Amino acid sequence: MEDVAERAGVSRALVSIVFRNQPGASQETRERVLRVAGEIGYRLDSAARLLARGRSRTIGVLIAAHQPFHADLIEGIYPEAERLGYDVLLSATARGRGEDKAVEALLAHRCEAVILFGSDAEPVDLDALGRRTVAVSVGRRVPHARVDSVHTAEGKGVRLAMDHLVELGHRDIVHIDGGKGPGSAERRRAYRAAMRRHSLQPEARIIPGDHTERSGIEAGRLLLAERDEGRALPTAVLAGNDRCAMGLMMSFARGGLDIPRDVSIVGYDDSHLSHLMPLGLTTVRQDALLLAEYAVRFAVERLEDEQLEPREAVVDPKLVVRGTTGKPRG
């Protein structure tokens, strides 16, 4: 500001008045100060100004580096945060960088609140985090912890997928489990419940896995090896998420199977990758924009009123039918 004041021929105090848009400077002076600031490339340090007032007005967001659905969520985080007057800072988990380190980085940068995408931390640790700062969990319920949660109605999503497969005529439906991934336990329970509801419990089978392409590839290899040993392939597979479904499709394609003629496949998330493939993936759509809006709103509301009790928002899913499901073979 001293540089601007010197070149504009005014006092530093007057420059400060102009930058703060306060009364006390003529229109001509304002225009001259702003023109000089533009000429020398001066930019307001908003972060420093906010910190001087004891606020950063920044929301930290924890993401997983390789989860496409998290990118979809981020697209909803930015506009809602901007609408409410907040900036966003991202911190990613990756190989060699765990959730603890990623969260601590956000807090070290003075984020006023943190939004956690698909956290796999223990509930006691999330409760401790929620007592340190404002925290919102997206994609996972955390009962009895001092964090707000926003997630899809997982059971309903699985029911939609299973009803769709059964209506097509499928009975031998396998589920690839999502392991400790967000929503996996609810999806697993809903799969078992759907198989019982359709009187298909004897055919129920859950293959251990996780929310990665590798999990789908390995499950596909297992099913193909069993076929080669004389065991019939299932007619349909409900994957733990879209990434797992895509890995399964790759494995089956290498094994010479035709989808959906030989096996129908359903994913979960409706991430942006699910409809970019040559054969569009039938999947359960999570409303990423609405989940993101709820998360930002919960964080800002708790910043304004720390006495709020933990809240939960449940968003309805939708089944999106594309090219990977059809009637069972034969």
What are the structure tokens assigned to 117, written together? 């995408």
DSSP-derived 3-state class of residue 261:
coil
In sequence order, which residues have a C-beta less than 8 Å from that of residue 277 and are 6 or more positions away? 246, 249
* pLDDT at 46 exceeding the cut of 60: no
Mean pLDDT of 225-230: 95
Any idea what DSSP says for residue 203? Answer: G
Residue that is written with structure tokens 């400790």 in the block? 180
Is 199 buried (19+), middle (13-18) or exposed (0-12) by CB count in 10 A?
A: exposed
How far is Cα 305 from Cα 225, in angstroms, rounded to an integer? 57
Report the mean per-residue pLDDT for the chain.
92
Q: Which of 54-58, 68-72, 113-117, 121-125 has the highest mean pLDDT?
A: 113-117
Cis peptide before 260 (omega within 30 of 0): yes
Q: pLDDT digits over 302-320, tens only?
A: 999 988 989 999 999 999 9
Q: Say what the pLDDT of residue 54 is.
A: 60
Q: pLDDT digits over 177-197, tens only?
A: 999 888 999 999 999 999 999
| φ, ψ for residue 149, nearest 5 deg | -135, 145
Q: How confident is the model at residue 44 (pLDDT cuts 50, 70, 90)?
A: low
Torsion of CA 159, 162, 167, 173, to 10 degrees: -160
DSSP-derived 3-state class of residue 58:
strand
Q: pLDDT digits over 108-132, tens only?
A: 999 999 999 999 899 999 999 999 9
Residue that is written with structure tokens 């931390």 in the block? 121
Q: Say what the pLDDT of residue 2 is.
A: 86
Alpha helices in the chain (DSSP H): 2-8, 12-19, 27-40, 46-52, 68-83, 99-108, 123-132, 154-168, 184-197, 213-228, 242-254, 288-304
* pLDDT at 273 exceeding the cut of 70: yes
How far is Cα 134 from Cα 143, in angstroms, rounded to an integer? 16
Residue 115's nearest CA partner among 70, 66, 153 is: 70
DSSP-derived 3-state class of residue 41:
coil
Q: pLDDT digits over 249-266, tens only?
A: 999 999 999 999 999 999
In sequence order, which residues have a C-beta less than 8 Å from that of residue 207 and are 6 or more positions away? 174, 175, 176, 177, 219, 222, 223
Residue that is written with structure tokens 């601007």 in the block? 4
- One-letter amino acid of 37: A
* pLDDT at 87 exceeding the cut of 60: yes
Any idea what DSSP says for residue 140? Answer: S
Q: Say what the pLDDT of residue 280 is.
A: 93
* pLDDT at 23 exceeding the cut of 90: no
Which residue would you say has higher pLDDT here, 29 or 291? 291
Least confident piece of the model among 17-31, 37-51, 98-112, 161-175 = 37-51
Q: Say what the pLDDT of residue 17 is.
A: 84
Is pTM beyond 0.75? Reply is yes
Q: How confident is the model at residue 53 (pLDDT cuts 50, 70, 90)?
A: low
